[in-house]
Amino acid sequence: MLGRDGGALRAPAKSGSRYVLQLNGTLNDHQRALLAQTGARLGDYLPANAYLADLSRADLDAIAALGFVRWAGEWRPEWKIEPQIGSRAFSSEERKAIASAGEVLVQAYLFDGVPADVAKREIESFTGATVEDSVRIGGMETLAVRIPLANVRELSNADSIRFVEELPEFTERSNTNTRWIVQSNISNSTPLYDAGIHGEGQIIGIMDGGFQPAHCSFSDPALAITTGNTPGVFPTHRKVAAYNVPLVSSSHGTHVAGTAMGNQSGEVNDNTRGIAYNARVCFRTYSTPVSAFPIDVHLTTHANQGATVHTNSWGDDGTTAYNAICRAIDLFSYDHEDNLVCFASTNLSALKNPENAKSVLAVGKSGGSGSQTGSCSTLSGPTADGRRKPEVFAPGCSTISASSSTSCGTTTMTGTSMASPAVAGAASLIRQYFTDGFYPTGAKVPSNSLVPSGALLRAMLTNSSVDMTAYPSPNQVPPNRYEGFGRILLDNAVYLAGDARKLLVKDIRNTSGSALTTSSVSTTNFRVQGSGQSLRVTMAFSDAPATIPTSFAPVNDINLRVIDPFGNVYLGNVINATTGLSQTGGGADAINSIELVVLNSPATGNWRAEVVGAAVNVGTQGFGLVITGDVASFNACPADLNGDQVVDDFDFAIFALAYDMFDCSAPSMPPSCPSDITADGFVDDSDFVAFATAYDAFLCP
Q: Are residues 362 and 271 in the same domain?
A: yes
Residue 693, C-beta contacts closer than 8 angstroms, at least 6 positions apart: none
**CATH number reported for the structural domain that contains residue 48 in this entry:** 3.30.70
Residue 22 lies in a domain: yes
**CATH number reported for the structural domain that contains residue 106 in this entry:** 3.30.70.80
Q: Are residues 346 and 255 in the same domain?
A: yes
pLDDT (tens digit, 9 = 90+) per residue, 356-386? Answer: 999 999 999 999 888 888 898 888 999 999 9
Q: How far is it, in rounded angstroms, from Cα 363 to Cα 423?
A: 8
**pLDDT score for 488:** 98
Cross-sheet strand order for the sheet of 41-46? 41-46, 50-54, 19-23, 69-74
**CATH number reported for the structural domain that contains residue 361 in this entry:** 3.40.50.200
The four Cα atoms 68, 74, 78, 80 give a dihedral, to 10 degrees, of 90
Q: Are residues 193 and 129 in the same domain?
A: no
Cβ neighbourhood burial of 127 (10 Å; 0-12, 13-18, 19+): exposed
**pLDDT score for 699:** 66
**pLDDT score for 6:** 35
Residue 289 lies in a domain: yes
Residue 274 lies in a domain: yes
Low-confidence ranges of the chain (pLDDT < 50): 1-8, 11-12
Asked whether the beta carbons of 285 and 245 are under 8 A apart, the reply is yes
Residues 602-638 as b/e (b if ≥16 CB within 10 A, e otherwise) read beeeebbbbbbbbbbbbebbbbbbbbbbbbeebeebb
Residue closest to 197 by CA, chosen among 548, 443, 509:
443
Residue 642 lies in a domain: no
Residue 574 lies in a domain: yes
The four Cα atoms 581, 587, 592, 593 give a dihedral, to 10 degrees, of 80
Residue 669, C-beta contacts closer than 8 angstroms, at least 6 positions apart: 658, 661, 663
- Whole-model pTM: value is 0.89
Q: What is the DSSP letter of 368?
A: -
Residue 493 lies in a domain: no
Q: Are residues 152 and 254 in the same domain?
A: no
Cis peptide before 235 (omega within 30 of 0): no
Taking each helix axis from N to C end, the angle separating 416-435 and 251-261, rounded to the nearest 10 degrees, works out to 30
**pLDDT score for 5:** 39
Q: Are residues 576 and 610 in the same domain?
A: yes
Q: How far is it, in rounded angstroms, from Cα 45 to Cα 22?
A: 10
Q: How far is it, in rounded angstroms, from Cα 177 to Cα 189?
A: 10
C-alpha distances (whole Å) from 280 to each of 206, 260, 274, 636 are 10, 9, 11, 43
Q: Are residues 97 and 13 in the same domain?
A: no
3-state secondary structure at position 430: helix
Tell which of 109, 133, 166 closes a domain. 166
Tell which of 53, 75, 97 closes a domain. 75
Q: Are residues 361 and 345 in the same domain?
A: yes
Q: Are strands 340-344 and 361-366 parallel, antiparallel or unpaired?
A: parallel
Tell which of 47, 75, 103 closes a domain. 75
Q: How far is it, in rounded angstroms, from Cα 575 to Cα 580?
A: 6
Q: Are residues 272 and 369 in the same domain?
A: yes
Q: Are residues 587 and 655 in the same domain?
A: no
Instruction: Give CA 65 to chain center in angstroms.
Output: 40
DSSP notation for 217-233: TT--TT----TTS-SEE
Please give the share of the chain, as a percent, with pLDDT higher than 90. 81
Residue closest to 296 by CA, chosen among 326, 320, 257, 338:
326
Q: How far is it, in rounded angstroms, from Cα 354 to Cα 344?
A: 9
Please give the backbone phi and psi of residue 503, each rounded to the nearest 5 degrees, phi first. Answer: -135, 130
What's the longest Cα–Cα distance across the chain?
87
Q: Are residues 629 and 682 in the same domain?
A: no
Q: How far is it, in rounded angstroms, from Cα 379 to Cα 176?
A: 25
Residue 638 lies in a domain: no
Q: How far is it, in rounded angstroms, from Cα 388 to Cα 382?
A: 5
Residue 555, C-beta contacts closer than 8 angstroms, at least 6 positions apart: 45, 47, 543, 544, 545, 546, 617, 618
Asked whether the beta carbons of 562 and 609 are under 8 A apart, the reply is yes
Residue 109 lies in a domain: yes
DSSP notation for 323-342: -HHHHHHHHHHHH-TT-EEE
Radius of gyration of the chain (CA): 27
- Rama region for 672: left / alpha / beta (φ>0; ψ in -120 to 50; rest): left
Q: How far is it, in rounded angstroms, from Cα 51 to Cα 346?
A: 32
**pLDDT score for 4:** 41
**CATH number reported for the structural domain that contains residue 565 in this entry:** 2.60.120.380
Residue closest to 421 by CA, chosen among 102, 207, 648:
207
Q: Are residues 230 and 279 in the same domain?
A: yes
Q: Are residues 20 and 84 in the same domain?
A: no
For the chain, the domain total comes to 5
- Rama region for 39: left / alpha / beta (φ>0; ψ in -120 to 50; rest): left
Cis peptide before 667 (omega within 30 of 0): no
Q: Are strands 140-148 and 203-208 parallel, antiparallel or unpaired?
A: unpaired
**pLDDT score for 523:** 92
- Rama region for 684: left / alpha / beta (φ>0; ψ in -120 to 50; rest): beta
**pLDDT score for 9:** 54
For residue 234, the enclosing domain spans: 171-444+452-464
